[in-house]
Amino acid sequence: MIDPDAVIVGAGPAGLACAATLSRRGLKSVILEKADTIGAVWRRHYERLHLHTDRGHSGLPGLPMPRSYPRYPSRAQVVAYLESYAAQFDLHPVFHSKVERVRRAGSRWRVDTASGSHVARMAVIATGWADFPHAPRWPGQDGYRGNIIHSSVYRNPAPYAGKRVLVVGFGNSGGEIALDLAEAGIDVTLAVRGPVKILPRDLLGLPILNWAILQKWMPPRLADLLNAPLLRLAVGSTRHLGLQMERKGPLTMIAEDGRIPLLDIGTLARIRDGSIKVRGGIARFNHDGVAFADDAAGQFDAVILATGFRPDLRPLLPETPGVFDARGLPLITGRATSEPGLFFCGQRVVATGQLREIGIEATRIARLVARLQG
């Protein structure tokens, strides 16, 4: 493409949404994607995954998810939707184009790949979090004879048949992978280090996300206070399950700590019936398993680390340290940054759904870019 208005890095939901919103304003963009397909990350998520945000709040700007989809679309449906989104807006990412550096070049941005550079007045970073799996390490881990993987590599329970599996972490991936294993009859234990928060996926027949959206104008602490009795009723007693409950309300927890509660789709019932066991945090590894914080030992053939992601975008943009916080996350996403023409999309954890947030941010970015160009 000759002289694009914007170079977009990444052809996941955020990159596609930004390209579409820009094109609706008559602005040209080039999308650089290191993989060979659209929505590469959604293609490789674990097989049973369904959105935990509802269809109505998970579509991108200009094209709702099809009405024929269920309330919580499957991973395959999300991928099909992303393909139809690209077709609808005539988006053609340049595949096999891994962006190595994004630097200022006068009043423009130069985006370097191994096969060449692209220059434009705007650069939009839509690289997601998938490249940054966080895998903590424990004493004794090198001597462990079993297999350790990160949850982002888990696909299905088949390789674990007949094995004892430890899933580490009680976020949505950890909870669902433990459920996947338990439903396949596999001996599964969850290692849970700290206090947890559990929410039903639906409350009074409505997706829990709708409640968060309805209350987004309230201070999180107030909304949490109002919701607490109903949520307690919906989740039921969690006493004697070996889980320590987070005292902060869910909206406060997301706002203050960037931690998303577990949206329960069956994990809790499996913990209650004993088919998922719960233990504390890991203190160290042994050759055949782990010792937990309470010193009790457990033997495991495999360990799945559902320990989240820790993105750090500083190596991609080494010359603009002012746009990042101490961990390398952009200080501002979906709005103008301190570097004119540089934007990030979808880099913030929100209570109201990532895909929904991506749509809001992409729409706002296109508006800002159009204003800058005009």
Residue 45 binds ligand FAD, judged by CB under 6 A: yes
Q: Is 77 in the site for ligand FAD (CB under 6 A)?
A: no
One-letter identity of residue 103? R
Find out whether 124 and 361 touch, Cβ atoms under 8 Å. no
Residue whose C-beta lies closest to ligand FAD: 12
CB of 261 to ligand FAD, least distance (A): 13
- Binding of ligand FAD by 99 (CB under 6 A): yes
CA gap 85, 20 in Å, rounded = 9
Binding positions for ligand FAD, 55-74, rule CB under 6 A: 58
Judged by CB under 6 A, which of 5, 34, 167, 304 binds ligand FAD?
A: 34
Sign of the dihedral defined by the CA atoms of residues 241, 178, 41, 113, in that order: positive
Q: Is 20 in the site for ligand FAD (CB under 6 A)?
A: no
Is 9 among the residues that bind ligand FAD (CB under 6 A)?
A: yes
10 or 249: CB nearest ligand FAD: 10
Contacting residue, 4, 13, 200, 341, with ligand FAD by CB under 6 A? 13
Site for ligand FAD (CB under 6 A): which residue of 18, 19, 22, 51?
A: 51
Q: Is residue 6 part of the contact set for ligand FAD (CB under 6 A)?
A: no
Which is closer to ligand FAD, CB of 130 or CB of 241? 130
For residues 78 and 65, what is the distance between their CA atoms, to the nearest angstrom? Answer: 9
Residue 79 interacts with ligand FAD (CB under 6 A): yes or no: no
How near is the Cβ of 258 to ligand FAD at its closest, in Å? 13
Give the residue with the Cβ less far from ligand FAD, 250 or 346: 346
Query: 91 or 290, CB closer to ligand FAD?
Result: 91
Nearer to ligand FAD, 178 or 290 (CB): 178
171-206 burial by CB neighbour count: b if 16+ within 10 A, else e?
A: bbbbbbbbbbbbeeebbbbbbbbeebbbbbbbbeee
Rank residues 95 and 138 by Cβ distance to ligand FAD and give the closer one: 95
To the nearest whole angstrom, how small is the minimum distance from the Cβ of residue 165 to ligand FAD?
Answer: 18
Give the nearer residue to ligand FAD in terms of CB position, either 36 or 142: 36
The window from 128-136, 153-161, 192-200, 325-333 that contacts ligand FAD (CB under 6 A) reads 128-136
Answer whether 279's CB lies under 8 Å from 170's CB: no
Q: Judged by CB under 6 A, does residue 276 bind ligand FAD? A: no
Q: Is 49 in the site for ligand FAD (CB under 6 A)?
A: yes
Query: How many whole angstroms separate alpha carbon 68 and alpha carbon 283?
Result: 48
131 binds ligand FAD (CB under 6 A): yes
Among 4, 175, 341, 346, which residue interacts with ligand FAD (rule: CB under 6 A)?
Answer: 346
Residue 54 binds to ligand FAD (criterion: CB under 6 A): no
By CB under 6 A, is residue 180 in contact with ligand FAD?
A: no
Select the residue interacting with ligand FAD from 32, 177, 198, 208 (CB under 6 A).
32
Work out whether 4 is an interface residue with ligand FAD (CB under 6 A). Answer: no
With contacts defined by CB under 6 A, name the span among 12-20, 159-167, 188-196, 277-285 that binds ligand FAD: 12-20
In this structure, are residues 278 and 189 in contact, taking their beta carbons and an 8 Å threshold?
Answer: yes
Q: Interface residues with ligand FAD (CB under 6 A)?
A: 9-15, 32-35, 40-41, 45, 49, 51-53, 58, 98-99, 126-128, 130-131, 173, 346, 353-355, 358
